[in-house]
Structure 1
């Protein structure tokens, strides 16, 4: 029933979902896949004249209208705890708008960015409703991220492209690899793309047959080399989080230690002196201004939390962190900490709502793990590996968010929608296979989890 990450056909439009209703039609799902390609590969920057039609906005409108006209097929989705958290967050942002510091800035400049981010949750949660669609989504999403990494790396090797640089002091700079010219991501964001890729590639490819292992061995070394070139310290710490989960889950820990030692030696020997200095700054061994940037980042986090306490209840307004920092701290710079950003923009109330959203995502993944690990059938190997990769990504996101903004960025919303969709697909398959009995069909995994805890 369950094979590798590839698939040969799209989901059938009259297939039953976990909730018992029919699927959204295949055409809408295909448009969603194209939306992912357009968004991540920035086709408007690659195709002359294509951006005139505002393709991203147009695709969002088309998918949203299609979902609206087929709303009877997904009735009841809003009752799920993860979905309700997102809806409460949206409702809170709107009702608190008159109370924030700069409501005009929210409406004029920032609301559209939030909308473009949060739609990822709804599209993923409602359109990924079968195993085939799940595999198609994963293939398209991961392929886009691989392209985003390999394109600037190829340009670096063939043309000396870097895309960014960091100041070392005394008028000296160190080159850093950023996204390709048609992309819009800086080195830290490219590092984020890389560390998002690694757990999915590791669990979904390495756990399969020989050809998938070969693909893994071809892809992984260049990806890790590109990570070195970004000089992203946040991404390096995120990589350590992923490595911890891979090590913890492995039955071959000694072999992994040997591989880690070899990779570390090869990686260190391939670094320039500037790159080594930047990573050494994490442990206070830098001899350049890299050490000062670490201290400055930590001081900046403290100042941002203090700024959030200036208006602790409802915050300054969605997307107004740079504006608040300009007026109060005297320096305009986007937040590099999601949790400080939440407090600054949404206040304590909004922060609690968002953190509840994250907690409910993890609860879904925990339900999945409890049920999958109780099944011995190899038919659930794909689900088992996917859930392991998503747990690793979840905790990597939690850690990386200490050094990365996210309230109006796509990644938490897409991950939340994927988690909900995966949970529902897994629920349906487990119930159909028969391991779970006498449970309510609405939340079969949650009910079983409750019985296990009760014992």
Structure 2
């Protein structure tokens, strides 16, 4: 008897989950721009359309129903409605509509697809595998671009590594992507039994660390510190974990090239080898604060650059997630975005704690032999929930120095939050268990 039959997970045709896995990998790798024939036939559009049709049929048939996660879904809808309204009432309607259609409506389907099709631990493994495949490819391209020099060029006084696709072309974006992969490596590694998969996770960690160092992104360096603090906080043995991290940091200090150490030090000293990016960022923050005071209801989706140019004659965007949200969709939008993120984190935490409770009952019982088959599934759910939690916290940290309201990260995390809740909701429906899921 398999754990999936035991727990009575909702049946989802494998071709749907496989299509979703291919779609996620294709989106990250932007294969339409890599292979002209796939771009010409609009491969991603066709695949997305197929998934949309499958989603509609599953919802109409009631097969996609389960734990509703109502607060999170409600805040998601409120956020999308606010973004839509601020697309209509924008200082730059054309730009707002482009961003809303391309970076909100399209990306939210990532969350919808994951929440609809990933209903069992087996399918969760599939989507995680697709992400790992895409991430390994991007990391490998970064390494080869460094070796050949094709993705290395001077910027702000040092040689900086750039990404191979438009989404991660800028060093800061490439660094942020690499940092976001590490929570999944760190928290999934202990629950993976296959030596081959463990080797791939280690390889991904090394590739991501390489990117973090040689992008020369100060934002990324701050994010690394945040990740270390998150790891220590989540660890049951915090002193030992902190000591281990400190030892690794000392070794890294002597291994990292001097120019990148100086780049990291400029976070504090504000002394740069070339240019004055720190001064420019400070000026942006001052301008954003003025525009926010003058437009507390927001200037519209992606409307800040135009509003800033009309007000000050300067073009750059906010370079700060929180000011991006506030200036684009107003103070009320910032509150809603905060509740949206808080609801995700709360849902993930409750999922993790409930999975730990079920796992504890399995480990402490001699009667429930069949339920012990689910122990591996529960540890996977816990590890993934913790990884997504850390992923969100890292994005919030990076948001202090960059703007990514209209990026895939929030929707990817949303999809996982809803999916994990649903998987656990179905996992605990074994007859021997009857803990109140709704009370947690």
Coarse TM-score class (shorter-chain normalised): 0.7 to 0.9
Is 1:307 the equivalent of 2:291? yes
Q: What is the CA distance between 1:126 and its match in structure 2?
A: 1.4
Change over 3 Å in CA distance of 1:97–1:140 after alignment to 2 = closer
Q: Give 1:194's aligned residue.
A: 178
Tell me the distance in 1 between the aligned counterparts of 2:91 and 2:222. Answer: 35
| Structure 1: segments with no counterpart, 5+ residues | 4-10, 169-173, 450-455
Q: Give 2:322's aligned residue.
A: 339
Tell me the distance in 1 between the aligned counterparts of 2:44 and 2:266. Answer: 40
- Contact kept in structure 2, 1:46 and 1:182, CA below 8 Å: no
Q: Give 2:439's aligned residue.
A: 448
Is 1:249 the equivalent of 2:249? no
Tell me the distance in 1 between the aligned counterparts of 2:98 and 2:48. Answer: 19
Q: What is the CA distance between 1:422 and its match in structure 2?
A: 0.6
Is 1:54 the equivalent of 2:42? yes
- Contact kept in structure 2, 1:281 and 1:294, CA below 8 Å: no
Number of residue pairs matched by the alignment: 421
Q: Give 2:116's aligned residue.
A: 126
Q: Give 2:55's aligned residue.
A: 67
- Contact kept in structure 2, 1:89 and 1:354, CA below 8 Å: yes
Tell me the distance in 1 between the aligned counterparts of 2:434 and 2:278. Answer: 50
Change over 3 Å in CA distance of 1:25–1:340 after alignment to 2 = same
| Structure 2: segments with no counterpart, 5+ residues | 364-374
Q: What is the CA distance between 1:177 and its match in structure 2?
A: 0.7
Bigger RCO of structures 1 and 2 (CA < 8 A, at least 6 apart) = 2
Tell me the distance in 2 between the aligned counterparts of 1:270 and 1:35. Answer: 38
Map 1:15-414 → 2, pairs under 5 A:
22-72=10-60, 73-75=63-65, 80-108=70-98, 110-157=100-147, 159-168=148-157, 174-180=158-164, 184-209=168-193, 211=195, 213-253=198-238, 255-284=240-269, 286=271, 288-289=273-274, 292-313=276-297, 315-374=298-357, 375-376=359-360, 377=362, 379=375, 380-414=378-412
Measured against aligned partners, the alpha-carbon deviations of 1:61-91 in whole angstroms (never above 9, x if no partner) come to 2221221233222357877222222222222
Tell me the distance in 1 between the aligned counterparts of 2:202 and 2:83. Answer: 45
- Contact kept in structure 2, 1:2 and 1:381, CA below 8 Å: no
Q: What is the CA distance between 1:133 and its match in structure 2?
A: 1.0
Q: What TM-score does the superposition give when structure 2 sets the normalisation length?
A: 0.86
Tell me the distance in 2 between the aligned counterparts of 1:356 and 1:252. Answer: 31
- Contact kept in structure 2, 1:77 and 1:83, CA below 8 Å: no
- Contact kept in structure 2, 1:111 and 1:318, CA below 8 Å: no
- Contact kept in structure 2, 1:337 and 1:403, CA below 8 Å: yes
Tell me the distance in 2 between the aligned counterparts of 1:165 and 1:397. Answer: 26
Measured against aligned partners, the alpha-carbon deviations of 1:385-404 in whole angstroms (never above 9, x if no partner) come to 22222222221122112223
Give secondary structure in 2 for the equivalent of 1:288: coil
Q: What is the CA distance between 1:39 and its match in structure 2?
A: 0.8
Q: Give 2:370's aligned residue.
A: none
Tell me the distance in 1 between the aligned counterparts of 2:220 and 2:352. Answer: 26
Change over 3 Å in CA distance of 1:23–1:293 after alignment to 2 = same
Give secondary structure in 2 for the equivalent of 1:70: helix
Q: What is the CA distance between 1:357 and its match in structure 2?
A: 1.1
Give secondary structure in 2 for the equivalent of 1:175: strand
- Contact kept in structure 2, 1:2 and 1:382, CA below 8 Å: no
Q: What is the CA distance between 1:361 and its match in structure 2?
A: 0.4
Tell me the distance in 1 between the aligned counterparts of 2:329 and 2:304. Answer: 10
Tell me the distance in 2 between the aligned counterparts of 1:213 and 1:165. Answer: 35
